[in-house]
Amino acid sequence: MIVRRITLRGVTTHEALDLQLPPRGVVLVTGTNGSGKSTLVEATPLAVWGKTLRGAQVWSSSDSSCAVEFADPSSDGATYEAVRRNKGAVKLSHGPTNTRDRPTRDTTTKAQEALDQVVRLSFDQWRRACVLSSSDASSFTQASDAERKRLVEEMVGTERLEVAYRAAREKHKSFQVQHLQLTSELAVVDERISGLHQQIQGLTEVLQHERAPAPPENIKQPLPPQEVERLSKLHRQVLDEVAQVEKSLRQQDQEQVQARAAYFSAMKHAERLRDDLCPTCGQPISEHLRHELARDVQAAEKTAQEADAHAEARRKENAQEVEDLHQEAKALQDKLEQDRSARAAHQAYERELAKAQAQNTKIPEQLSVAHKALELAESKREALEATREECAHNEVNYRAVVQTLSTRGVRALLLQGALDQVEKVSNYWLTRICEGRYRLKLSSTETKKDGEARDVVSLKVEADTEVGGGRGYESLSGGERRRVDIALTLALSQVAEAMTGAEGSTLFCDEIFDALDDQGIRDCCDVLREISKDRCVVVISHSPSPDLRDCASTVLSLRPPEAA
């Protein structure tokens, strides 16, 4: 960014300042503390990005404004103007310098978007490439290896690669997880397909060997219903006859018992009348009565004997009849039981036959359902396989992206390339400033005690052996360190310029030469003359030496308001 003009109204100590910068040469700005020297450096980021280098409040009134006219080094010389006011409004106008009617934007957001398109640099990129401050001069050399690496990565812009690296790593992890999930789903689908193939094979075999179940062996045909009815009726009749015979036997037994009871009663009565007197009335018993009693006893005994004989004869006769009836009843019962068993076997066979027929009828339908399920499963598997292949392809691609964007990939190449350039340019300026007594050595890796490499940016100062070589940066004197810091700061700025396309931009040096001795300033003045051949270099100095004044083509002396 080539700064043409800086206009300040109510910014820090400047009530009204209009500074026009030459296209090339050294502009020296001097003044005591509080005179607003560094405000000239702050003006550019304040007008263009609404920020300051120190983050301090610079507006002194509500009507304060800051305007910067600038040109893009890579353009055809078109001039732009950015105006920012305390109230927050940003006015952007651009076009040829002699054109009054320049387009403007109505809102701060639109103006800032237009500014970003014109400037094409971020605030941090401009600060690294175009501002050399006293605090930045030693920040790189005195930083730790890890901090130094971070500073170079910011200059190179690899922090954007870090964002891309993290996003690619998350994508890679997500594709890994997705690949595992798809593999698991495919295993389930494969198992499903295998089961369907087995089911289809089993149903097909059943359908090909379809036949009715064989009837049970040695099964008899059931009797006709009429025959079953006849046998049942005959069985009932035989049972009735058995019951009648048994009832007749029970009656004969009862008659036999009664005859015996009459005989025993007569015997007992005769036994009681053996004496001469009646045991009941005490009267004498006559012979006639005795003779009647004896006759009765004999009659009762005869009757009992006849009843026993008759009963025994009937019992023998009926016993055979009952046995025959029982055998006939058992034969009929056996026939009926065999018929029931045969009928039950036939019914079971008919049920099994009906079940087999129903099952055989459903097999084609089951085969159709199984084939449709297999078709869907294979279609799903094909889709899953295609998705998994795509996922595996993405996983491989993102793995390559992660490896490329990692600290050992393209970032390492960019970092090492930037360090090589910084080292080369630093040593060039050290040759000019220190008469070739020192050389810088920058490395993006460092070997640890265990032999492993560590990703850092190490800095070593190699001294000429004739001047006392072997000393590192820490062993240098304060003036020598300052020279190394300035050379390294100039190199970082030039490399940052080259990387951002800002070559030829206005360079601001904020009090980086004030700590040098006279010889150091003279050596740096030669450097300034070389740098300012094709650009404007604004040097801020608290107490410039005569050599620095002689080096400048323009000298601007500022004083605090109370001393004005």
| Domain of 466, in residue numbers | 137-156+407-501
Q: Choose between 425 and 444: higher pLDDT.
A: 425
Arithmetic mean of pLDDT, 83-93: 74
State whether 490 and 412 are in the same domain: yes
- Assess whether 258 and 360 both reside in one domain: yes
Mean pLDDT for all residues in the chain: 81
Per-residue pLDDT of 409-441, as tens digits, reads 787 788 888 888 888 988 888 888 887 778 888
Tell me the DSSP string of 234-281.
HHHHHHHHHHHHHHHHHHHHHHHHHHHHHHHHHHHHHHHT-SSB-TTT
Alpha carbon distance 367, 205 (integer Å): 11
Would you place residue 96 in the very low, low, confident or very high pLDDT band (cuts 50, 70, 90)? Answer: low
**Residues 248 and 375 both lie in one domain:** yes
Res. 289: pLDDT tops 80: no
Q: Answer whether residue 359 shows pLDDT above 80.
A: no
Does one domain contain both 305 and 372? yes
Pair (436, 299) in one structural domain: no
The verdict on 307 and 452 lying in the same domain is no
Q: Average pLDDT of 65-73?
A: 86
CA separation for the pair 10, 17 (Å, rounded) = 9
pLDDT of 353 reads 78
Point out the least confidently predicted range of 182-196, 282-296, 434-448, 489-503: 282-296
pLDDT over 50 (residue 466)? no
In-domain check, residue 29: yes
Q: Is residue 532 one of the residues assigned to a domain?
A: yes
Q: Choose the final residue of a domain: 326, 354, 388.
A: 388
Do residues 452 and 339 share a domain? Answer: no
512, 497: one domain: no
What's the pLDDT at 20? 93
Same domain for 3 and 107, yes or no, is yes
Is residue 209 in a domain? no
Mean pLDDT (whole number) for 88-114: 67
Quick one: pLDDT at residue 176? Answer: 93
Pair of tokens at residue 311: 């009963």
CA 215 to chain centre: 62
State the amino acid at position 149 in one-letter form: K
Q: Assign residue 325 the CATH number of its domain.
A: 1.10.287.510
> Would you state the pLDDT for residue 460?
80
pLDDT for position 363: 80
SS3 541: strand
Max distance between CA atoms of the chain, in angstroms, equals 201
Has residue 180 been placed in a domain? no
Does position 389 have pLDDT exceeding 50, yes or no?
yes
In a domain, 179, yes or no: no
**337 pLDDT tier (thresholds 50, 70, 90):** confident
pLDDT, average across residues 217-246: 81
Instruction: Write the CATH number for 151.
Output: 3.40.50.300
Same domain as 446, residue 334? no
pLDDT for residue 380: 93
Do 449 and 496 fall into the same domain? Answer: yes
Query: What is the predicted pLDDT for the residue at 144?
Result: 78
Helix ranges (DSSP H) in 406-442: 410-433
Look at residue 470 and tell me whether its pLDDT is greater than 60: no
User: Which of 50-54, 102-106, 181-185, 229-233 shows the lowest per-residue confidence on average (mean pLDDT)?
Assistant: 102-106
472 pLDDT more than 70: no
Residue 548 has pLDDT above 50, yes or no: yes
User: What is the rounded average pLDDT of the residues 89-101?
Assistant: 60
Alpha helices in 39-144 (DSSP H): 39-49, 108-119, 123-130, 134-137
pLDDT band at 77 (very low <50, low <70, confident <90, very high): low
Q: Virtual CA dihedral for 413, 415, 418, 420, nearest 10 degrees?
A: -70
pLDDT value, residue 467 = 44
Mean pLDDT check: name the lowest of 239-248, 313-322, 329-338, 436-445.
313-322
Amino acid at position 96, single letter = P
- For the chain, the domain total comes to 3
Could you tell me which residue, 201 or 220, shows the higher pLDDT? 201
Best-predicted range by mean pLDDT (213-217, 259-263, 384-388, 495-499): 384-388
Residue 26 and residue 63 share a domain: yes
